[in-house]
Amino acid sequence: MYTVGSTVSEAVDNVFLFIIIISVILLLVVTFLMIFFAVKYNRKKHPQSEPVKQKTWLEIVWTVIPVILVLAMFFYGYKGFLLIRQVPEDALKIKVTGRMWDWSFEYENGKRTDKLYVPVGQNVKLLMKSVDVIHSFYIPVFRIKEDLVPGKETYLWFKPQTVGPADIFCAEYCGQRHAFMMSQVMVMEKEEFEKWYQYDEKSQAEAQMEELKRIPAVKLMDDYGCLSCHSIDDSKGEHIPLKGIFGQKKIVIKDGKEIEIVVDEAYLRRALLEPGAEVVKGQINQMEPATDLSEKELQMIIDFLKEHK
């Protein structure tokens, strides 16, 4: 058994445990009977076979017992299904957006993150949507999974029981970088979460980012999804920084070989149109070719990166 991360985990685990126990018992009974009958009614012991007499009671037994077992499995499974679909009224509501190939989370106070922060012992309802293709939000430790369908809002809920991180995956194949569409749930103590939730994160870097998004080139990059993996402000984190990149020297992998290049206009153009041609050492290419950008839009982004120091 994996770690039990939520109340839903217990319901799912109990159903699986019940089905496994029944299956093992049936396996042992059927195996025993097969061996028993093979030995008892061996041809050497009974060279002359006798007609089998019909036993109605036996037919009833081997029909009724499987029906009861299947109905019992259905009953326990349906109880778990109802638990998963009936959301408590006091649940904390968080919006989840899936896109190729990342997750984003928005709280009721407007706070946005790329990881899911929740308080331990608190009911949480996720309101989920996809902006491109079908994704499937999956947290193995919590035993929850729900599809995100373009044009339709789906939901699920859970109540985390243990403090700490838990992995989030996409369980529906969604393209080239599907395997890298990962994030984390950060389960926090209630007091710690409340401080985090109420903290005003309108820092200088965020204010700078909001100001930058007024620039047409930045808005274009944001709309195209560039800023889901890259940063153009002074914030520090997992995003690959683009601020001041023009003129820098980089070690890239090209045709399986390491070469040193200088980030110039030609390189930026190749990076946008052929992102897998020259990948910076230590990084993984997750970009789609920007072939749907017009020449004017492409040049707008390149000019911005040249000047953004």
User: In sequence order, what are the residues at sequence separation of 6 or more whose Cβ sits closer than 8 angstroms to the Cβ of residue 115?
Assistant: 105, 183, 184, 185, 186
Q: Are 40 and 107 in a shared domain?
A: no
* DSSP H/E element including 197: helix 190-198
**CATH code at position 226:** 1.10.760.10
Whether residue 61 is found in the same domain as residue 103 = no
What is the pLDDT, as a whole number, of residue 175? Answer: 87
Q: Does residue 140 fall inside a structural domain?
A: yes
Q: Does residue 181 have a pLDDT over 60? A: yes
pLDDT tens-digit map of 51-67: 777 788 888 988 998 89
Q: Does residue 270 or residue 286 have the better pLDDT?
A: 270
Q: Structure tokens of 281?
A: 């050492």
Q: Which of 7-16, 60-69, 130-139 has the lowest mean pLDDT?
A: 7-16
pTM listed for this prediction: 0.57
Residue 297: pLDDT over 90: no
pLDDT of 50 > 60? The answer is: yes
Average pLDDT over residues 257-283: 85
Q: Are residues 62 and 150 in the same domain?
A: no
Give the pLDDT confidence score for residue 220 in this predicted structure. 80
CATH number at residue 140: 2.60.40.420
| Domain shared by 143 and 194, yes or no | yes
What is the overall mean pLDDT for the chain?
84
Distance set, CA 168 to CA 30, 176, 187, 263 (Å): 40, 18, 13, 35
* Confidence grade of residue 227 (pLDDT, cut at 50, 70, 90): confident
The fraction of the chain above a pLDDT of 90, given in percent, is: 25
Euclidean distance between CA atoms 78 and 57, whole angstroms:
31
Of residues 167, 142, 147, 141, the one with CA closest to residue 157: 142
Distance separating the N- and C-terminal Cα atoms of the chain: 52
| Residue 97 and residue 194 share a domain | yes
183 found inside a domain? yes
Q: CATH number for the domain including 46?
A: 1.10.287.90
Measure Cα distances from 260 to 248, 265, 278 in Å: 10, 16, 10
What's residue 167's pLDDT? 92
- Using pLDDT thresholds of 50, 70 and 90, give the confidence band for residue 208: low
Q: Which of 141, 170, 198 marks a domain boundary?
A: 198
pLDDT-above-70 percentage for the chain: 92
Per-residue pLDDT tens digits for 35-49 = 998 888 777 776 777
| 174 lies in the same domain as 104 | yes
Is 1 inside a domain boundary?
no
Domain-embedded: residue 232: yes
Note whether 210 and 186 are same-domain residues.
Answer: no
Buried b (16+ CB within 10 A) or exposed e, 258-286: eeebebeeebbeebbeeeeebbeeeeeeb
> Do residues 230 and 258 share a domain?
yes
Whether residue 131 is contained in a domain is answered as yes
Query: Region 82-96: what's the mean pLDDT?
Result: 89
The confidence score (pLDDT) of residue 39 equals 85
Same domain, 105 and 45: no
Lowest mean pLDDT across 85-94, 113-122, 148-157, 209-218: 209-218
Domain count for the chain: 3
DSSP label of 232: -
**Residues 109, 111, 112, 117, Cα dihedral to 10°:** -90
Q: Is residue 102 part of a domain?
A: yes
In this structure, the answer to whether residues 137 and 229 fall within a common structural domain is no
Which residues constitute the domain of residue 55? Answer: 7-85
The arithmetic mean of pLDDT across residues 233-256, rounded, is 79
Q: Which of 141, 166, 198 is the last residue of a domain?
A: 198
Whole-angstrom distance, CA of residue 225 vs CA of residue 220: 9
Inside any domain, residue 57: yes
Is residue 1 very low, low, confident or very high in pLDDT (cuts 50, 70, 90)? very low
Same domain, 235 and 253: yes
Return the DSSP state at 49: -
More confident residue, 1 or 75: 75
**Between 155 and 212, whose confidence is greater?**
155
Domain membership of residue 2 (yes or no) is no
Mean pLDDT of 69-91: 86
Alpha-carbon 17 to chain mean position: 25
**Range in 44-58, 164-178, 183-197, 240-254 with the lowest mean pLDDT:** 44-58
Q: Which of 30, 54, 85 is the last residue of a domain?
A: 85
Mean pLDDT in residue range 107-123 = 90
Which three-class secondary structure state does DSSP give residue 222? helix
| Shared domain check, 208 and 194 | no
